[in-house]
């Protein structure tokens, strides 16, 4: 049915445009040639976004890799040292795949930070190309944010220092150099940041790292017949996807758990793929945290959707589920992570019902919209407010500490349009409304990224605690590379 409808649109579209010989070289950066865009969409009809390549099922033959927790650096006068490196990794038995990683050949360690602590991180670029170290979700000054302006050339290093002022959350870090972000992430540059605070330690949630508290970094990849990653060969300007899922860099992963409550910190670290996570048994779970902190109370769900860069912490009670062949699946039923439920009960503390005091105030609800953002287009033609990213242009300014309401609109195109994950650097914000309605319960918490569907309008209350220039962009990494990014200067 969907296909037929699309076919009709396709034919009509071709008739209307009728051999438009648009010269792409004539594109002016600030203008989008809609005819050319429609033309490209015709030719790429097979890439239509509701027909995303399926993921292979995990065979469960490999135990899930748990990223190591980075030890504080004792020798030097810094808390942590993080090196961007290249190397090779045995993802498949007996085969070395060329990859990138932080302090290792693939992905990175987990950095555990404490609210209130002052952290010094030494970053070192050991790659043969430029990179940056961006701390996604961290509320730090623009200088420390690691956006595209903070390039480290090969061999360069930089120490950054900041105070951790935000509450407990699962954040992450990844590179952000112009033109290379998508590729460097694809080859393996991504790591975790956990912020802990008094609240997170007293909630009674599972918090034994790698025992009952697991990070799950979801990334889909395409391996060639030599089991190598070749970004240029598989790159899709509308978002690179693959048929092979890696979780924490593990292919065909399996997770052994006890019969107890287990905390899964889900991170969509993919370039472009969206996931709707569910249990194949149909059992429910609770979501306890969003991108930037705990929800006020656990929200019971049967599924949770994450677009690129979003996080959700969920608690699955394996003492209550009796299903055989239990697994985490996606919306299509692809087996992402089979669970092996071991005999014997674990210890499960009674968790607090009240976890946070997140609230949207009456003042925030009454604020007028002062910034408007229109997301539009696909492939090379993506824009924000009709413009492509220009590192020398400041799109907005905002006062430090002032809350403003940003209204984001996803303008449909003739193919209907697609979901964009919208992200702002250096802040955790509040979703005020989606199409005028209160957001779902599991979005009533701190967010730094959210999905916006075609023709949807989302209002958010945004405050920056620090000064600097920050990016806002679509987190489909190829859209970001294609210019779906702008800058806000906080003064
Ligand atoms: Cu995950 Cu510009 O960031
Ligand atoms: Cu970011
Ligand atoms: Cu996008």
Protein residues with CB under 6 Å of any ligand 1 atom: 134, 136, 174, 176, 309, 423, 425, 471, 473, 475
Ligand nearest to the CA of 448: 2
In ligand 1, the atom with minimum distance to the C-alpha of 485 is 2
Which pLDDT tens digit goes with each residue over 83-116?
A: 999 999 999 999 999 999 999 999 999 999 999 9
The pLDDT of residue 29 is 39
**Ligand 3 centroid to residue 251 C-alpha, Å:** 27
Rounded to two decimals, what is the model's pTM? 0.91
Distance between CA atoms of residues 133 and 158, nearest Å:
10
Ligand nearest to the CA of 452: 3
Which pLDDT tens digit goes with each residue over 327-343?
A: 999 999 999 999 999 98
Residue nearest to atom 3 of ligand 1 (CA): 136
Which pLDDT tens digit goes with each residue over 117-130?
A: 999 999 999 999 99
Distance between CA atoms of residues 337 and 216, nearest Å:
10
Length of the chain (residues)? 491
**Ligand 3 centroid to residue 472 C-alpha, Å:** 12
**Ligand 3 centroid to residue 332 C-alpha, Å:** 22
Ligand nearest to the CA of 307: 3
Nearby residues of 440 by Cβ (< 8 Å), 6 or more positions away? none
Residue nearest to atom 1 of ligand 1 (CA): 136
Which pLDDT tens digit goes with each residue over 264-315?
A: 999 999 999 999 999 999 999 999 999 999 999 999 999 999 999 999 999 9
**Ligand 2 centroid to residue 478 C-alpha, Å:** 15
pLDDT band at 240 (very low <50, low <70, confident <90, very high): very high
pLDDT of 151 over the 70 cut:
yes
* Residues in the 5 Å CB sphere of ion ligand 2: 136, 425
Nearby residues of 19 by Cβ (< 8 Å), 6 or more positions away? none
**Ligand 3 centroid to residue 420 C-alpha, Å:** 4
The pLDDT of residue 322 is 87
pLDDT of 488 over the 60 cut:
yes
Distance between CA atoms of residues 391 and 149, nearest Å:
8
Which pLDDT tens digit goes with each residue over 152-186?
A: 999 999 999 999 999 999 999 999 999 999 999 99
**Ligand 1 centroid to residue 225 C-alpha, Å:** 31
Q: Can you say how many angstroms the Cα of residue 454 is from the centroid of all Cα atoms in its chain?
A: 19
How large is the angle between the packed helices 2-17 and 34-43, nearest 10 degrees?
130
Closest Cα partner for 294 from 276, 314, 266? Answer: 314
Ligand nearest to the CA of 308: 1
Is beta strand 275-279 parallel, antiparallel or unpaired with respect to 303-306? Answer: antiparallel
Segments in 66-152 forming alpha helices (H) = none
Distance between CA atoms of residues 5 and 166, nearest Å:
48
What φ, ψ does residue 238 adopt, rounded to 5°? -105, 10
Distance between CA atoms of residues 313 and 298, nearest Å:
10
The pLDDT of residue 35 is 56
The pLDDT of residue 351 is 76
- List 327's β-bridge partners, or say none: 338
Q: Is 423 helix (H, G, I), strand (E, B) or coil?
A: strand
Question: What count of other Cβ atoms lies within 10 Å of the Cβ of residue 69?
Answer: 13
Distance between CA atoms of residues 440 and 430, nearest Å:
12
């Amino acid at each position: 049915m969907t296909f037929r409808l699309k076919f009709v649109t396709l034919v009509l579209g071709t008739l209307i445009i009728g051999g438009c010989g648009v010269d792409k070289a004539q594109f002016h950066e600030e203008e989008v040639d809609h005819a050319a865009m429609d033309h490209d969409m015709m030719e790429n009809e097979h890439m239509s976004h509701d027909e995303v390549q399926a993921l292979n099922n995990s065979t469960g033959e490999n135990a899930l890799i748990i990223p190591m927790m980075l030890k504080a650096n004792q020798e030097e006068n810094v808390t942590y040292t993080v090196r961007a490196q290249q190397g090779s990794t045995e993802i498949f038995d007996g085969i070395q795949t060329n990859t990138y990683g932080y302090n290792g050949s693939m992905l990175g360690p987990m950095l555990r930070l404490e609210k209130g602590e002052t952290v010094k991180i030494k970053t070192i670029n050991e790659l043969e190309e430029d990179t940056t170290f961006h701390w996604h979700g961290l509320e730090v000054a623009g200088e420390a944010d690691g956006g595209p302006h903070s390039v480290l050339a090969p061999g360069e290093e930089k120490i950054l220092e900041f105070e951790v002022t935000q509450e407990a959350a699962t954040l992450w870090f990844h590179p952000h150099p112009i033109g290379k972000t998508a590729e460097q992430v694809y080859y393996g540059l991504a790591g975790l940041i956990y912020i802990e605070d008094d609240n997170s330690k007293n909630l009674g949630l599972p918090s034994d790292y790698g025992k009952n508290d697991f990070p799950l970094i979801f990334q889909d990849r395409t391996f060639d017949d030599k089991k190598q990653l070749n970004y240029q060969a598989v790159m899709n300007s509308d978002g690179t996807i693959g048929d092979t899922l890696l979780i924490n860099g593990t292919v065909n992963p399996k997770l052994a758990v006890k019969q107890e409550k287990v905390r899964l910190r889900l991170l969509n670290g993919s370039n472009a793929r969206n996931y709707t996570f569910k249990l194949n048994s149909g059992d429910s779970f609770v979501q306890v945290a969003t991108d930037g902190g705990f929800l006020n109370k656990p929200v019971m769900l049967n599924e949770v959707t994450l677009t690129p860069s979003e996080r959700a912490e969920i608690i699955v009670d394996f003492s209550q589920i009796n299903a055989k062949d239990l697994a985490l699946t996606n919306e299509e039923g692809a087996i992402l992570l089979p669970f092996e439920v071991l005999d014997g009960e674990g210890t499960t503390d009674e968790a607090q019902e009240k976890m946070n005091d997140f609230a949207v105030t009456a003042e925030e609800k009454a604020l007028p919209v002062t910034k408007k953002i229109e997301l539009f287009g696909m492939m090379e033609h993506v824009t924000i407010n009709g413009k492509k990213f220009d590192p020398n242009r400041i799109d907005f300014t905002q006062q430090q500490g002032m809350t403003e309401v940003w209204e984001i609109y996803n303008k449909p195109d003739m193919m209907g349009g697609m979901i964009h994950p919208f992200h702002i650097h250096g802040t955790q914000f509040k979703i005020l409304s989606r199409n005028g309605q209160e957001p779902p319960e599991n979005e009533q918490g701190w967010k730094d990224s959210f999905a916006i569907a075609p023709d949807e309008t989302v209002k958010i209350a945004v405050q920056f605690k620090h000064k600097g220039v920050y990016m806002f962009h679509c987190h489909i990494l190829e859209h970001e590379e294609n210019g779906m990014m702008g800058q806000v200067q906080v003064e």
